[in-house]
Structure 1
Amino acid sequence: MPLYKEQGIVLRAIKLGESDKIVSILTQGSGKIRAVAKGIRRTNSKFGARLEPLTHVSLLLYQGRNLDTVTQAEIISPFRSIRADFELIAAAETMLEAADKVAEEHERNVRLFLLLLSGLRALDERPLDPEAVAESYLLKLLSLSGFHPSFSACAVCGTPGPHEWFSAGQGGIVCQADAEHDAGRVAEPAVRWLDGLARADLMAAGDMTPELQTRREARAMLFGFVEYHLERRIRSFALLAR
């Protein structure tokens, strides 16, 4: 079995047998991998907390037929600030889960890795509004996946906005003439808020805070759009919306 080095962010871990775990890791060079961490659940494990979700790690692995095996792991960043605050954890969990849904096993995606790393670093700086960082991250993830919603012009005919209708299935805001049955009315402040988050740097997004009603409406639009186009339910959305 060939031995290889990687760096990655631990997305999740599940128990395997009495003392092992299978960890899912988004790596920089090998895409998402699943690897066995043997003996990690023992009190004297050499891994300790190095392979807990929400950890940036340097890895040495054996490549297996179905699952790789972690032989060494060293922490690059534990993101301690995030772990100390529930609101930051909720935002980070949303990022991890969304990345996990998008990433393909053993399919290199450096841009996705760097986006997730940038998002976690922004949260680790304890921003004023962690939810805004997570929402900005989701919009960038959509763009990276080829599903960027239209906020400035009708997604169907291209007529410049503002428009009062939004449809996940049609790709964003739509004019009244093109709005289909699934389109819903939206207020302009919610559309402007999402457009601003899409354009903002992740570090800067954390300094942006909308009115409560604007956030509620924008969040409903964004969450629906994400789940529609990724064709996955994102369970962490419930944490972010608390």
Structure 2
Amino acid sequence: MLYRDEAIVLRTHKLGEADRIITLLTRQHGLVRAVGKGVRRTTSRFGSRLEPFTHVDLQLAMGRNLDTVTQVETKGSYSAALGADYERYTAGTAMLETAERLVVEEREPAVQQFTLLLGALHAMAAGEKRPGHVLDSYLLRSLAVAGYAPSCVDCAHCGRRPGESGHHRWFNPAMGGVLCSTCRIPGSASPAPETLRLLGALLAGDWPVVEATDPRHVREASGLVAAFVQWQIERGLRSLAYVER
């Protein structure tokens, strides 16, 4: 059976002498792994269209274990823009790995995750925002779509709202975000109020607040985001180790 879908190429690896297995995040069928037959040959009609960071419209033949790519049209390619800048490339790679880890259901629509990743890749390639800002915002928002949104205002354990200070003092990834003094557990971080405000802005996509934040609070927030992601995604993200913070 043939079907068409829109997809972002997440990863590829070799199969046999001339083929590749392509890992795709599709809009309507979630995570799909498909064979690109002959794409490693120089005579291949669409080998270059099936590279990571490429947005494609494609036709696939459904198989028992792996589908087969039969047609590909490029809708947008971000590989050149990201590949020319190490910081953007490593941040982009972390986004692709995150998408693959969070979309666990195959053959099921993943419209929100697909749209979020596509927008983040476009913003990263455009170069108008700092790579770290785009990455941290994407990480928090993709986790929220998957059901793991961090609490940035109310206590993640008891739900208590902050008092006159306007913020709780503690943050713990294992507990789901900020904690009040009563619920604080050993090992919790005590970030600056500006850092917590930045986390909320990254989650909401409030770019004026994000871009106006002092660099020291940006660094602190990035550390908390990385810790939160690594906790929620049990095996961690290998590509985050290469991201400049």
Q: TM-score range by the shorter chain?
A: over 0.9
1:183 Cα offset (Å)? 1.8
Which residue number in structure 2 is paired with residue 99 of structure 1? 99
For 1:179-218, list aligned pairs within 5 A: 179-200=184-205, 204=207, 208=211, 210-218=213-221
Output the CA distance in 1 between the equivalents of 2:208 and 2:115.
Answer: 17
Q: Count residues with an aligned counterpart.
A: 239
For 1:128-207, list aligned pairs within 5 A: 128-161=129-162, 162-200=167-205, 204=207
Task: Say which is worse superposed, 157-166 or 62-71, in terms of deviation.
Answer: 157-166
1:170 Cα offset (Å)? 1.3
Output the CA distance in 2 between the equivalents of 1:226 and 1:216.
Answer: 15
CA 1:84/1:182 → structure 2, altered by over 3 Å: closer, same or farther?
Answer: same
CA 1:119/1:95 → structure 2, altered by over 3 Å: closer, same or farther?
Answer: same
The structure 1 segments of at least 4 consecutive aligned residues displaced by more than 6 Å after TM superposition are none
CA 1:4/1:31 → structure 2, altered by over 3 Å: closer, same or farther?
Answer: same
Which residue number in structure 1 is paired with residue 84 of structure 2? 84
1:99 Cα offset (Å)? 0.4
Output the CA distance in 2 between the equivalents of 1:217 and 1:126.
Answer: 23
Which amino acid in 2 is paired with 1:86? Y
Is the 1:133–1:206 Cα contact (8 Å) retained in structure 2?
no
Which residue number in structure 2 is paired with residue 18 of structure 1? 17
Output the CA distance in 1 between the equivalents of 2:66 and 2:15.
Answer: 12
Output the CA distance in 1 between the equivalents of 2:65 and 2:6.
Answer: 20
Which amino acid in 2 is paired with 1:85? D
Which residue number in structure 1 is paired with residue 113 of structure 2? 112
Which amino acid in 1 is paired with 2:176? G
Is the 2:57–2:74 Cα contact (8 Å) retained in structure 1?
yes
Is the 2:10–2:100 Cα contact (8 Å) retained in structure 1?
yes
Structure 2 residue 241 is matched with structure 1 residue 241: no
1:141 Cα offset (Å)? 0.8
Output the CA distance in 2 between the equivalents of 1:139 and 1:215.
Answer: 14
Is the 1:127–1:207 Cα contact (8 Å) retained in structure 2?
no
How high is the TM-score relative to the length of structure 1? 0.92
How high is the TM-score relative to the length of structure 2? 0.91
Is the 1:29–1:109 Cα contact (8 Å) retained in structure 2?
yes
Which residue number in structure 2 is paired with residue 63 of structure 1? 62
CA 1:209/1:238 → structure 2, altered by over 3 Å: closer, same or farther?
Answer: farther
Query: What SS does structure 2 have at the residue aligned with 1:195?
Result: helix
Task: Say which is worse superposed, 7-16 or 117-126, in terms of deviation.
Answer: 117-126
Output the CA distance in 1 between the equivalents of 2:24 and 2:241.
Answer: 23
Output the CA distance in 2 between the equivalents of 1:216 and 1:235.
Answer: 20
Query: What SS does structure 2 have at the residue aligned with 1:146?
Result: coil
CA root-mean-square deviation: 1.8
Query: What SS does structure 2 have at the residue aligned with 1:149?
Result: coil
Is the 2:169–2:178 Cα contact (8 Å) retained in structure 1?
yes
1:209 Cα offset (Å)? 5.7
1:160 Cα offset (Å)? 2.4
Task: Please list the CA deviations of residues 15-70 of structure 1 after superposition, one character each: whole Å capped at 9, or x if unmatched.
Answer: 11111110000001111100001111112112231000000011111100000011
1:181 Cα offset (Å)? 2.3
Mind listing any 5+ residue stretches in structure 2 that lack a counterpart?
Answer: none
Which amino acid in 2 is paired with 1:185? S
